A and B are shown apart, each in its own frame.
Chain A
Amino acid sequence: MNISYDWLKEYLDLTVLPEELAKYFDQIGLMIESIKKVNGDTVYEIETYANRPDTLGHLGVARELATLLGLPLKTPSWPLNELDQATFDLVDIQVLDSQLCPRYCGLVVKSVMVGPSPEWLKRRIEACGLRPINNVVDISNYVCFSLGQPLHTFDFGRLREARIIVRRARKGETLLTLDGQLVELTPDMLVIADESKPVALAGIIGGEESAITEKTTDVFIESANFDPVSIRLTAKKLGLTTDASYRFERGVDINTAPLGAMMAASLLSRCGGKASRGLIDVYPSQRKPKSVPLRLKRIAELLGIEIPEEFVVRTLTALGLKLNEQKPGVWVAEIPSFRVDLEREADLIEEIARFFGYDHIPSEVTPARSFELPASQEQDCLWFLKEILFHYGFDEVINFSFADQQKETIWQTGYQPIKLQNPISSRASILRTSILPGLVENAVWNYNREAEGVHIFETGKIYFWEEDGKQREEWHLGLITSGLKEGKAWNQPSRETDYFFLKGAIEDLFSYLGYDVPSFEPEDHSFFQSGQSVKISIKNEPIGYLGLLKPETRKAYELEKLAYGGELNLTALFGRQPRAFTFTAVPRYPGTVRDLSFQVEAQINFQDIYSQLRKLNVPFLERFEIYDRFEGGSLAPGQVSYSVRFFFRHESRTLLTEEVDRAMLNIISQLKSTLKIQLR
């Protein structure tokens, strides 16, 4: 909203200079976005709020400044040149829907000389950021930007049967608007019609046919009040926002309508016009002013400072409120109709705080009667998980939650995606159902910008419809590793990343976070090359997967390098209770190490052997490690050789050789029977 310094002077005897005035606007929350000089006048562009339609005119802003500066608010008078004819003899006004049009004022001004506006008026219009058109149009804008009361002026001669009917549009009716659009009207829209058809879209825009032209001599002035919701719905539906609709949808003061009409008529009188006698004012159900109680004590309770009673009374009175004291420090405030935002005690306390100055309210520590546990276990886990991945050299990324539906089909995530009704672009029309596609895009972006390797992860949500039609959000972790892990240095060659780097990081995530060792079972997945992926599960609950990305996917994204990816369902993982940690005594007796080399059928994989070894119930076995694996060479085809190192220990003495021998025999016999191993 543009506010002119000179215009404010119509309401205030300002003594502060234009530059100084700026800081007062800021203090009461009318934030200045820019200050311009226009025709020697100072124009402030101020930010206004959706609940303060009163500040959409100079009068309302002047009232705020008057309150702050302690100045009286002037009330200019609007004398008329009157005709002998009464308005109701000239025009017939019928309001058929008083719900959507609670008040309608109108009168006729005859013999107007349509032409350029006088200089003072042109300056006002230019200060608003508008172009002067002619005196009639400029006057209605002047009234609108003075009072915040939108007006509409009709060429009276074009209104058939001199009739104004405020009604809902009929099905099939159309209106050619002032800006040349043919609008199809529907019965939820309120129109101003003459005897035969709509001539204006109420409170939004006028019609071309009844518009003021150079030939106009008689003008019908409409100064009305329309239902905010109806105006908003119609404006939204038609994609039309005008200075009028902007004000009506915020709530125009119902009691300003007569003044708006009189002011316009008076100004038209100065252009040779003669006004019809007596304003027609259709206002069937008068609104009572709102009453809001106010307690002095409550002001201090909410603001944290005692504000002098005298200040409270002076401020609210200056703002137009009437305070009726009930008992000392307790009032009932009568709210002026132009303040649609003031409804509760808290609203009045805000007014007091605003004019008292937020700067004058003290700063205090918020007392605490109890402390909360700072963060949930999940949030701790999430941060620790990130730290583990940083340690592995993964960088963290954050991608948009949106995805390209076309591109996501390549992935076949298996989830029913959630579509947006009004997406910003077709490439962001659904919510992502996997973290990995974003990571692949990041890899490509970086490979195109000199990266030699990309090792990144993201934690975030995926979104999908569940089978029962409910939306679901799941926290996931996605990881990708591709290209060089370490660049060439003077003392070491460069090193490519590989699948086992990624798997190691994931294994460590589980172990550092205190979860059970998951199982990794070879299983095909739509993301990965056939035979080159595993499913990760804990106690048979699938928790994720990892593998080598499919060449088709890489091709679709133009990712040339191999990439290994993985995704974990963190909602499922964090839903599990990690093992509670207590320390284990540090061993005080030496352990014994035994190595075992054996061969098995190649279809038995490490996970099988590992699971069998974990199941072993062997006394003194502390742990075991696989330290060699090979196939081919001297081995028969279809055979794989493993070497496993076993660590034995007794907690309170040194083990005897025979005990370890017996344990090894036990291990060998169990493995022979379960996995058919052959010793080497």
Chain B
Amino acid sequence: MSSLQEKIEQYRQLFNDLAAKTKNIKELEELKQAFLSRKKGYITLLFDELKQLSPEEKKSAGVVLNDFKMEVQQTLTELEQKCLKPKAEKISPDLTLPGRKIYWGAPHPITLFQRKIEKIFISMGFAVEEGPEIETDYYNFEALNFPPYHPARDSWDTLYINDRLLLRTHTSPVQIRVMEKKKPPIRIIIPGKVYRRETPDPTHLPMFHQVEGLVVDRGITFAHLKGTLEYFIRALFGEKIKIRFRPSFFPFTEPSAEVDIECIACHGQDAQCRVCGGTGWKEILGAGLVDPQVFKNVNIDPEKYSGWAFGLGIDRTAMLAYEIPEMRYFYENDLRFLRQFNRR
């Protein structure tokens, strides 16, 4: 056997090895170039060598070389078809590994709960109003029928800025501001921050959030107040919640009421309940018909118009709804607490 034939044999071996490893079009193209390139392909080079042989050697080796070339071409064609065929995609050896997540920020629970409340009232045709947090004694107390020096002010312990200005102790001054500039019908809620000079404890902080509601129109009654607040509380706490209205006192409403809901921690079953103290009830809001003096203070005729108002502590109600034992959790802003509320 001539040395050329041995060489051909070696290249055949090489080609078969490479062909077996060829997996894609790119590798196929490289293989094709390596063997069939018109300038430097192995087979081209082998044909160059063939030209230099004697005629007999040329004849026998030529047959072998031509066979090899055809073999290569055929294998390449087969490989090409194989490579072009769509191959089954593989994702990962373990499809149970955790997925890639995009973190969605958490709203503050107060924002979340306030929004829930707003949505219920907006669905009943209420508008959302706002007002300043720095108020005058007139808007915070006097216009709301708190006589100067009256002990009624004691429940609204106040942080003062100077003799004229204070931090509002409730959202009620916004009632006055709205009624001063707008004539009935009025149908609004007023969410916002309020301030009291309270020594911090689990249910008292010097700053918290309230939402105030006010309806003024002809013919508004206590029955309307009851019906609307009952609907609101059911929308917030569920259809089956027990609700109780009982008489109370606020200078700016007459008659006044406080509204309790059944304790959602013990349902009145636990005499030692930490949430309701065993009474089975939890006070959630104060309400009443707008006091005629308040109407007079804003030049609305109480003989023509009547109205109802309510005020609810957002923090404390959210504490009930989410079973949060301490009010200060809201303002520590611990991410491990806050991030629980991106469950909405």
Contact = CB atoms under 8 A, between A and B. Distances in A.
B335 A451 contact: yes
B218 to A, nearest CB: 8
A353 B128 contact: no
Interface residues of A, number: 92
Interface string B117-159: 0100010111110101110000000000000111110110001
B221 A422 contact: no
12 contacts: A31-B248, A232-B151, A233-B149, A301-B221, A346-B289, A349-B254, A358-B222, A389-B105, A395-B342, A399-B333, A428-B206, A471-B165
B228 interface: yes
Interface string B235-271: 0000000001111110100111110000000000000
Interface string B142-183: 000000111110110001111001010000000000000000
A302 interface: yes
B274 interface: no
Contacts of A51: 152, 249, 251
A361 B118 CA distance: 26
A100 to B, nearest CB: 13
Interface string A267-309: 0000000000000000000000000000000000111110000
Question: Chain B CB within 10 Å — which of A347, A350, A365 has the most?
Answer: A350
Interface stretch (B4-12, B65-73, B96-104): B96-104
A383 B115 CA distance: 9
Interface of A: 26-29, 31, 49-52, 228-229, 232-233, 246, 249-250, 301-305, 344-347, 349-350, 353-354, 358-359, 361-376, 379, 383, 386, 389-402, 418-424, 428, 431, 442, 445-446, 449-451, 454-456, 460-461, 463, 471, 473, 486, 489-492
A560 to B, nearest CB: 17
Contacts of B299: none
B93 interface: no
B227 A365 contact: yes
A424 B127 contact: no
A389 B223 CA distance: 43
Interface string B331-344: 11111101100100
B32 interface: no
Interface stretch (B42-50, B54-62, B106-114): B106-114
A421 B333 contact: no
A445 B215 contact: no
Given A393-B105, A399-B333, A424-B198, 12 more contacts: A51-B251, A229-B149, A366-B215, A372-B187, A374-B122, A375-B127, A386-B107, A397-B108, A398-B111, A401-B195, A454-B335, A473-B132
B210 interface: no
- Which 7 A-B residue pairings sit nearest by Cβ, starting from the closest? A304-B223, A29-B247, A304-B221, A372-B127, A350-B255, A49-B249, A390-B105
B104 A391 contact: yes
B219 interface: yes
B325 interface: no
B306 A395 contact: no
B103 A364 contact: no
Contacts, number: 249
B220 to A, nearest CB: 7
Contact of B207 (A49, A402, A454): A402
A372 B219 CA distance: 19
Contacts of B155: 50
A469 to B, nearest CB: 11
Nearest to B315: A398
B136 to A, nearest CB: 10
B227 A363 contact: yes
A442 B331 CA distance: 9
A350 B247 contact: yes
A492 B110 contact: no
Contacts of B198: 424
Contact of A492 (B100, B124, B161, B293): B100
A362 B223 contact: yes
B159 A354 contact: no
Nearest to A420: B159
Contact of B254 (A249, A346, A398, A419): A346
Nearest to A51: B249
Contact of B247 (A229, A246, A353, A395): A353
A49 B308 CA distance: 20
B254 A350 contact: yes
A491 B291 contact: no
A346 B255 contact: yes
B116 interface: no
Contacts of A370: 185, 187
A400 to B, nearest CB: 5
